[in-house]
Amino acid sequence: MKTAIVTDSNSGISQEKANKYGIYVLPMPFYVDDELYFEDRTMSHEEFYIRQQAGSKIYSSQPSPADVTDLWDKVLEEYDEILYIPMSSGLSGSCATAMAMAQDYENRVIVADIGRVSVTQKLAVLEAKKRANAGMTAAEILKELVYAKDECIIFLTVEDLKYLKQGGRISASSAAIGSLLNIKPILTLGGDKVEAVGKVRGDKLARKKIMQCLDETLVNKFHTDNIDDFYLAAAASMSEEDALVWKQQLEEHFSISCSMSPIPLSMGCHLGHGTYGAALIRKMPM
C-alpha cells in the first residue's frame, strides 16, 4: 500500500522543501487588510512582516474545505491512502474540520491530531515519511505518532507584545507595561495550549532563559540528561543573520546541531516579527 504524507504550512515546511521531502503541504490562508493570501504561494514571509509592521490588519483563517479535499483528491490519484498531519486541534479548528471531512473518504484519509505545530509538527511529518517509505500504513504510523506526541516542548519569546494583546493572550495594560519596560515573556507551547512560564527584561536574558528552560525540561519532563536522544530545532521570524546567531548560540550551549525554520505565518499573525524560540523533540526509533 502506498501511503502519502500530507501536512499544512503550520509545520514550517515550504513548498520547495515539500518537493524535496516527497510530501504535500497545504498552504494556510490569512488575510491582510481583508484580502486573502496563502503562505508561500501568494505572499512571502518578507512581505508579510513588512505589511504587519506598517500597521496592516492581519488575521489567520482556516483553509476552505474545498482546498483541503482538492489536495486530498489529487494525492489519492497516485496513492492508496493519506496520513494528514495538521496543526494541533488545540490551536486551530482546522484539524476538527479535516477529521469530519475524512469520514467521506472511506478510511483512505486518516487525520493525525498529535498536538503539534511548527518545528515539532515538522519533525513528526518527517518521521511519518520515513515510515511510509518503509512500507508502514497510515494507521500504523499514526499509532507511533500518538505514542510519541508529548515527547517534545517549545519555548519562545516575542519582540512586541501588541500582537499577543490583539489575539487576547494578554491584557492591554500588561502589553503596555511590558513594552515600556522592555519585558519579554517566555512562553511554552506543548500539547494544545500556549502558557507563560516567566518574563525577563531584554533580549539577552530572554535567550538565556529559553536555554535554561530547555535544560530543566530535559531533566524534569523527559527524565534524562542525554541530549543526543533529542532533535534540537529553532524557529524565528527575523533576518537570516539574526536567526543564524540564535542557531549558533543554541548549538554552542547544547553541543549538538540545531535546525532552523521560519515561524509559520499563521503563528506570525499572533506573534509578530522578532519572535524566536527553540524546541526539543525526542527521536523516534524505527
In the sheet that holds 29-32, the strands lie side by side as 35-38, 29-32, 58-60
Q: Which pLDDT value is given to residue 231?
A: 97
Q: How many CB atoms lie within 10 A of CB 36?
A: 12
How many Cα atoms are found within 13 Å in the side-chain-facing hemisphere of 279? 30
Q: What are phi and psi of 206, to 5 degrees?
A: -65, -45
Of 171 and 248, which is predicted with more confidence? 248
Q: What is the pLDDT of residues 22-53, one digit of tens each?
A: 999 999 999 999 999 999 899 999 999 999 99
Q: What is the pLDDT of residues 115-154, one digit of tens each?
A: 899 999 999 999 999 999 999 999 999 999 999 999 999 9
Q: What is the pLDDT of residues 169-205, one digit of tens each?
A: 454 444 444 454 577 889 888 666 778 888 899 999 9
Please give the Cα distance from 276 to 261 (Å, whole number). Answer: 10
Q: What is the average pLDDT score of the chain?
A: 91
Please give the Cα distance from 135 to 282 (Å, whole number). Answer: 23
Residue among 35, 37, 15, 34 nearest 24 (CA): 15
The answer to whether residues 274 and 158 touch, using CB atoms and an 8 Å cutoff, is yes
Of 160 and 226, which is predicted with more confidence? 226
Q: Which pLDDT value is given to residue 170?
A: 52
Of 145 and 164, which is predicted with more confidence? 145
H helices present in 152-202, as ranges: 162-166, 172-180
Is the pLDDT at 111 greater than 60, yes or no?
Answer: yes
58-60 and 35-38: which strand pairing? unpaired
The answer to whether residues 29 and 61 touch, using CB atoms and an 8 Å cutoff, is yes
Q: What is the pLDDT of residues 79-100, one digit of tens each?
A: 999 999 999 887 778 899 999 9
Q: Which pLDDT value is given to residue 178?
A: 47
Q: Which pLDDT value is given to residue 94?
A: 87
What percentage of the chain reaches a pLDDT higher than 70? 92
Is the pLDDT at 251 greater than 50, yes or no?
Answer: yes
Q: Which pLDDT value is given to residue 1?
A: 77
Q: Which pLDDT value is given to residue 179?
A: 55
Average pLDDT over residues 210-227: 95
Please give the Cα distance from 234 to 166 (Å, whole number). Answer: 25
Average pLDDT over residues 95-108: 95
Q: What is the dihedral of CA 105, 107, 108, 114, to 10 degrees?
A: 110
Q: How many CB atoms lie within 10 A of CB 51?
A: 16
Q: How many CB atoms lie within 10 A of CB 138?
A: 26
